[in-house]
Amino acid sequence: MSYHRLWLVLLVALLPSTLHAQTRGEPRAGRVPNSVSSAVISAYNNPATRKVEGRFVLSVTDTVAGTLAVLGGPVTVGGTVLGDLVVINGDMRLDSTAVITGSVYVVGGVVFNRTRGRVDGDMQVWRSRLTYRSDSGRIIAEEDQTMLSRYSRWREGPGADLKDIIIASANSYNRVEQLSILFGPRLRLNRGESRFTLEALGIFRTGDRLSWERENLGSRLLAEFRQGTEQQHFALGVRHTDEVDAVEKWSLSAAESGLTSLLFARDYRDYWNRFGGSAFVRVVPTGALEFTVAMGRERWDSRDARNVFALFRGGRDWRANPGALEGTVNLLSTTARIDTRNDRERPRDGWLIQAEYERGDMDISRSPNPEELALTAPNLTYGRAFVDARRYVRIAPLTSVNIRVVAGGLVHGSALPPQRQLSVSGVDALPGYAFRALGGEPDVAMCNTLPESTFAERGRPASCDRIALVQAELKGDFRVALFGADKRDDDRRWYADGLRADGSWVVFANSGRGWLTGPRDGGLTYPRSAIPSLSTFRSDVGVGVDFGMLGVYVAQPLSGATTTPRVFVRVGARF
Amino acid sequence: MTSALSFATLSLAALSLAALPFAALPLVAQSTDGPRIDIALPTATSNMTVRLRNAIDGGRFEELLRNGFDVRVHMRVELWKMGRFFNDVVAREEWDVIVHYDQFDQTFDVARLEGDNMVSPLGTYRRLADAKAAVALPHAPPIGRPGPGQRHYYSVQAEIETLDLKDLDEVSRWLRGELAPAVQGRKNPGTALGRGLRTLASRLMGGEVRRLEARSSPFRVRDDGGK
């Protein structure tokens, strides 16, 4: 028995037992073991082996005495091989007349008609190609360093320096800007775990007319140094902004607001303009925690709604964009984020807590209309806190309970500027009630004190100093069994790219309200140390089905004059 | 304004209700040759294994793969303990399987990524079918074994997506208002916008992101280690 034949026999004997479970000649997936690649290379390099490169046909009348090794292939065997047959990176076809007195080893290919002919020995087939280099008629195995390094780099994230020209959107589609296009260079330098990012981006807003004018232009500049990985780092930097920002970003998502704006001319957010700069420090001690502190100075201005395009407008006018308190403000803000959810898109377990505190000292002496906003002092100092806490709990393999508490508002100072005021309204908060419809008398949804015509004329602004909202939902998975009941005890479900073939039923309840701070009155204003009783909250209950990317629900209001249930659709989970 | 939401929501509701029968159709395929996750419970001598079958069958994965977009399969296994009132995650493991098409060699590279930097090559193949078989290899994640006594079950989630599509998903970004590069280097903005539109439609109708979920039967480990 030759040396390489002995190698191959030993190889078969030493293969893991799991491999023996394979049907004879069945191609195996996975990387070719080093022992296998060594054996076939040894067989190929043996001087006694008959070597062939490329396509090869052994006809019925032909006989090869000894080992036959084919590099590349494909190989068709109709004759006789008095020994082993090794095929490297090629397929093999067996005819019924084939006779192989030894074993067949195919690496990087498959065997067609493997039950035909006669193979006295073993038949092993590996689909994965053998990586090798040629040297003076011999072949030498090579580790595929290219692939390894490629995936290692991918895993580690962008390690190389990066120079980009960025074209992206600065905001979701909205009635103030229409499309806001960010463009400009980004430079990112990586040195080990240190990263320096420099961005200088211009903003062009398409608005209601494509023209190069001040209203359509903005900017965003960023210089940031980060030490550490994405999951654990600290960063410091400075940024300049001349951008439009949304007033209540905690409520309906930007994607949903942008979608309804683009499709139906329904913009459920309000906006104002921020111009200024800030310095910030961010600490991420673990992947689940993030803390940021920022100090800056900005100029805040109002933005008017514009007559922008919508696909299915139906003759509707865009809602007016509520006016902002204009002036220069010194800002100190801190934000914290705790995220222990097991899944970002469909959490079943864990917490998501987002908390922020903002202290503003605003010079409104040159504001055009402070008296309209009932502010007479030249300065407005305020402290605003906001918490959005969510808890996801699985109570059974198919059933979850999710709870969300949102609370925030004025904690100190004289008053909040309108762009920092709040409301409890809309499909995200209380879907049983229409968006920005007055919430009874007094109005506990937007805290409006204006006549309704004035309120509508000003764009139905959020005017609450404080809000509180509690949401709870019970979710259970169901399966769509079109062809009879499925008696499986386990559960498999899959999603057709956003739409889940199997969904969840949802039963939910929401309760919340907003209020003003000050001397107690008939139910709208409360002292700072007081919280309205739960009996004054507006509540709704509802049911629905959640198919992952799309959910359809119906909500029934429980208080107020409105008793009609409302149907609504969410893109993604409710929270 | 009270009816403002109704028009939008009812239109979307009608759209979604009309889509429900189509959304349910793939379930039939799941029971035969569709994408699916198989979970093998641990035994006294072996750890649990996960097998993802037919992960990149159908859709546009193959076309995108051949055009240079790597396919990423992200897997997450969780071991849940059933309590009286709540179920708790007691262990979790995640890994990725990447499929890359080498345009020059016209071969498919498959590799598994675990932990921080551990890369396990799963082979290089000439045929996509062989690469798919490598993706479907069973894997035993080092998730540990549950202790005896209480009932447990495994939950497995798989997300299959085409990498680099974030660079193209322009329209989605308009809607979300995110800052991320839509066009990098030599890519043409117009082309990116067109591809972004196509991508958004594709994702809404069933495109390049596929998510699967499976849960094992609840089981209890005996004191001798069996179940």
A495 reaches B (C-beta below 8 A): yes
pLDDT of residue B34: 72
Asked whether the predicted pLDDT for residue A303 surpasses 50, the reply is yes
Q: What is the pLDDT of residues A353-368, one digit of tens each?
A: 999 999 999 998 777 6
On whether any CB of chain B is under 8 Å from the CB of A233, the answer is no
Please enumerate in sequence order all residues whose Cβ is within 8 A of that of A413, keeping only pairs 6 or more positions apart, or say none.
A360, A380, A381, A382, A383
Band of pLDDT at residue B116, cut at 50, 70 and 90: low
- pLDDT over 70, % of chain A: 86
The rounded distance, in Å, linking the Cα atoms of A205 and A173 is: 10
For the ranges A301-315, A342-356, A369-383, B82-96, the lowest mean pLDDT is seen at A369-383
Rank A175-189, A253-267, A320-334, B195-209 by mean pLDDT and report only the highest. Answer: A320-334
DSSP output for A478-539:
----TTS----SSEEEEEETTEEEEEEEEEEEEEEEEEEESS--SSSEE-TT----GGGSEE
Q: Which residues contact A212 (CB under 8 A, 6 or more apart)?
A: none
- Judge whether A489 is closer than 8 Å to chain B, CB to CB: yes
What tokens appear for A254 in the block? 């930007």
Q: Encoding tokens for residue A497?
A: 């790219």
**ipTM of model over 0.95:** no
- CB–CB contact B213 A495 (8 Å): yes
Q: Which of A249-263, B17-31, B113-127 has the lowest mean pLDDT?
A: B17-31
Do residue A172 and residue B88 have CB atoms under 8 angstroms apart? no
Is B15 inside any structural domain?
no
pTM over 0.90? The answer is no
The answer to whether position B65 is within a domain reads yes
Nearest chain B Cα to A341, which residue?
B89
For residue A167, give the nearest of B7, B172, B189 by CB distance: B189
Confidence of residue A462 (pLDDT cuts 50, 70, 90): very high
Q: Is residue B225, in this structure, part of any structural domain at all? A: no
Residue ranges of E strands in chain B: 36-40, 49-53, 71-82, 87-102, 107-114, 118-125, 151-162, 209-215, 219-220
Amino acid (one-letter) located at A276? G
Identify the CA nearest to A52 among candidates A62, B12, A394.
A62
Mean pLDDT of A409-425: 94
Q: Which residues of A touch B11 (CB under 8 A)?
A: 264, 312
Residue from A84, A72, A305, A22 nearest A175 by CA: A305
Which H or E run includes B61? helix B61-66
pLDDT at A445: 94
Q: Is the peptide bond before A74 cis (omega within 30 degrees of 0)?
A: yes
B67: pLDDT confidence band, cut at 50, 70 and 90? confident
Q: Give the confidence band of B167 by pLDDT, cuts at 50, 70, 90.
A: very low
Q: Are the C-beta atoms of residues A97 and A79 closer than 8 Å to each other?
A: yes
Whether the CB-CB separation of B130 and B115 falls below 8 Å is answered with: no
- Chain A residues with CB under 8 Å of B136 CB are 29
Helix axes A254-264, B4-24, angle to 10 degrees: 110
With an 8 Å Cβ cutoff, are B27 and A481 in contact? yes
- pLDDT higher than threshold 80 for residue A323: yes
Residue B189 scores a pLDDT above 70: no
CB contact under 8 A, B123 and A549: no
Residues from chain B contacting residue A263 (CB–CB below 8 Å): 8
Q: Does B6 score more than 80 pLDDT?
A: no
Tokens of A87: 């095929």
DSSP β-bridge partners for residue B217: none
Name the least confident of A257-266, A268-277, B7-16, B101-110.
B7-16
Under an 8 A CB cutoff, do B179 and A182 touch? yes
Amino acid type, A197: T
User: What's the confidence (pLDDT) of residue A143?
Assistant: 67
Is B168 a domain residue? no
B149-152 contacts at long range (C-beta below 8 A, 24 or more positions apart) = B149/B220, B149/B221, B149/B223, B150/B81, B150/B82, B150/B83, B150/B220, B151/B81, B151/B82, B151/B218, B151/B219, B151/B220, B152/B79, B152/B80, B152/B81, B152/B82, B152/B90, B152/B218, B152/B219, B152/B220, B152/B221
Question: pLDDT tens across A54-71, in order?
Answer: 999 999 989 998 899 999
User: Position of tokens 């000649």?
Assistant: A25
Chain B: nearest CA to A427, how far in angstroms?
8
Check: CB of residue A99 under 8 Å from CB of residue A118: yes
Cβ distance A99 to A81 under 8 Å?
yes
Candidate from A19-23, A121-125, A317-321, B181-185 with smallest mean pLDDT:
B181-185
Domains located in chain A, CATH noted: 3-143 (no CATH), 325-571 (2.40.160.50)
- pLDDT band, very low/low/confident/very high, at A29 (cuts 50, 70, 90): confident
Report yes or no on B112 lying in a domain: yes
Q: Which residue from A181, A172, A176, A179 is spatially nearest to A201, judged by alpha carbons?
A: A181
Cβ neighbours of residue B129 closer than 8 Å, sequence gap 6 or more: none
Residue A563 pLDDT class (50, 70, 90 cuts): confident
Q: What is the pLDDT of residue A440?
A: 79
Q: What is the pLDDT of residue B183?
A: 37
Say if the Cβ atoms of B34 and A494 lie within 8 Å.
Answer: yes
pLDDT tens digit string along A118-148? 999 888 899 998 888 888 878 888 766 555 5
Nearest CA in chain B to A439: B2
Q: Determine, for residues B130 and A27 on separate chains, whether the beta-carbon distance falls below 8 Å.
A: yes
Asked whether residue A222 carries a pLDDT value surpassing 50, the answer given is yes
Is the pLDDT at A289 greater than 90? The verdict is yes
Domain count along chain B: 1
Q: How far is A511 from chain B (nearest CA, A)?
A: 19
- For residues A350 and A208, give the distance between their C-alpha atoms in angstroms, rounded to a whole number: 44
Q: With bands split at pLDDT 50, 70 and 90, how would you rate the model's confidence at A491?
A: low
What domain range includes position B31? 25-163+208-219
Exposure string of A258-286, with b = 16+ CB inside 10 Å and e = fewer, is bbbbbbbbbbbbbbbbbbbebebebbbee
Nearest to B48 by CA among B176, B142, B181, B189: B142
Residue of chain A minimizing CA distance to B24: A501
Contact A52, A85 (CB under 8 A): no
Least confident of A68-82, A205-219, B73-87, B159-173: B159-173
Contact flag B117-A127 (C-beta cutoff 8 Å): no
Select from B6, B10, B27 the residue whose CB has the most chain A CBs within 10 Å, as the one to mutate to test that interface: B27
| Gap between the Cα atoms of B158 and B156, Å rounded | 7
Question: Residue A187: its pLDDT value, please?
Answer: 84
At residue A217, the pLDDT reads 94
Which of A232 and A438 is assigned the larger pLDDT? A232
Q: Is the residue at B96 inside a domain?
A: yes
SS3 A155: helix
* Burial of residue A522, with CB atoms counted within 10 A of its CB: 0-12 exposed, 13-18 middle, 19 or more buried: exposed
- What value does the mean pLDDT of chain A take? 86
In a domain, B129, yes or no: yes
